[in-house]
Amino acid sequence: MPLSPARRHHVAGGALALLVLCGTAVTAATAGSGADPSSASAARAPGSDRGPVLDGSTILWPEDGQSAVELVGAGAPEARGEQRPVPIASLTKVMTAHVILREHPLRPGEPGPQIEADPQAAHEVAVGGESTVPLQAGRTYSQRQLLELTLIPSGNNAARLLARWDSGSQDAFVEKMRREAARLGMDRSTYTGASGIETTTASTAVDQLKLAREAMKDPVLREIVASRSVTVPGIGPVTNTNSLLDTPGVVGLKTGSSTPAGGNLLWACEVRTGGTTRLLLGAVLHQRAGTTPGEGIHEALESSRRLVTDLRDRLSSARTGS
């Protein structure tokens, strides 16, 4: 249920509102609510408010679902909506790729080991209602190519093939996903598969920012999610499902949609503020859930576009004092 207008601009449970102002932080306690340690933050560490920060009360939040934004290095996230776990669909693949790269690091431009597509990966191409890529049984693909097929056109069968390659089974790989979520402090997230097709894989907007912050440290993952398209031999050109990449400054991350999950988008944008280029992260979840995946992802993309553009412009102008 959407929050009332009086509360919708604040983190669930109450957080501090911080002005987008270079070198200045003005705080105001959210009226009528107590601190909730499960929300983005009930307090900020000393010194964390130096430089431009985000004011949750003035952000152009999506009206639906839940959202969170963070300017990396400038304090805790700001969030809107109840931070309760909801299905995240293919946002799951960010964790899948992150775990694969932790287990099997690649250098930029390095293809990595060759991985043979098994009959299961080929059979899953014909599975209805899933986003898959045309993997051919017996054909080999590099680790980099399978990561591209997982993150760019959102191939469920590519994600599950990577999981089996790494751990022998998807179930064993999921245990690694869960351990990594725990390591990152994602205490409101549950992973039950590598692709996100399961509605039991659920998270919150604030938890997804914890993952995004860590995942974007890897230059290979960062390269892939910023790619508008790639060409994979034997498959051909594939286009990124994230049309937000057309927005200036946006450098990733990942879409996800289904009828129960609605539209979901985890995004990253580079902004120039205070003479420094910084990473602005956002998560928009559960948009128009219960409708069609197409309606949900359209809403997630459009509301994120408004959010990114407004925050980018205001943060950029803050450095000149205008």
Please report, as a single letter, which amino acid is at residue 318.
A
DSSP lists the bridge partners of residue 254 as: 266
142's tokens = 């590099």
Looking at 93, 189, 210, 304, which residue is catalytic?
93
Tokens 């919150």 correspond to 204
304 is catalytic: no
User: How far is 178 from 176, CA to CA, in rounded Å?
Assistant: 5
Looking at 41, 67, 131, 154, which residue is catalytic?
154
Tokens 């014909």 correspond to 126
User: Looking at residue 75, what is its pLDDT?
Assistant: 84
224's tokens = 């892939």
90 is catalytic: yes
Instruction: Tell me if 189 sits within 8 A of 143, measured CB to CB.
Output: no
Looking at 41, 90, 189, 258, which residue is catalytic?
90
User: Looking at residue 52, what is its pLDDT?
Assistant: 61
Residue 210 assigned as binding residue:
no
For 71, 89, 158, 162, the CA distances from 118, given in Å and listed in that order, are 42, 24, 11, 11
The mean-pLDDT minimum among 33-37, 192-196, 201-205, 212-216 falls in 33-37
Residue 271 pLDDT > 60: yes
pLDDT, one tens digit per residue, over 298-320 is: 999 999 999 999 999 888 876 44
Instruction: Tell me if 189 sits within 8 A of 207, measured CB to CB.
Output: yes
* Mean pLDDT value across residues 10-21: 33
Domains contained in the chain, CATH given = 86-318 (3.40.710.10)
Residues, the chain: 322
CA atoms within 13 A on the CB side of 48: 15
User: How far is 151 from 13, CA to CA, in rounded Å?
Assistant: 33
Q: Give me the DSSP letters along 169-215.
A: SHHHHHHHHHHHHHHTT-TT-B---SSS-STT-EE-HHHHHHHHHHH
* Mean pLDDT value across residues 66-93: 95
142 is catalytic: no
* Ramachandran quadrant class, 138 (left: phi over 0; alpha: psi -120 to 50; beta: rest): left
Nearest Cα residue to 292 out of 312, 250, 262: 262
User: How far is 212 from 115, CA to CA, in rounded Å?
Assistant: 26
Q: Is 161 exposed, middle or buried (0-12, 13-18, 19+ CB in 10 A)?
A: buried
The mean-pLDDT minimum among 24-38, 96-110, 146-160, 213-227 falls in 24-38
Q: What's 2's DSSP letter?
A: P
The model carries a pTM of 0.84
* 36 — pLDDT class (breaks 50, 70, 90): very low
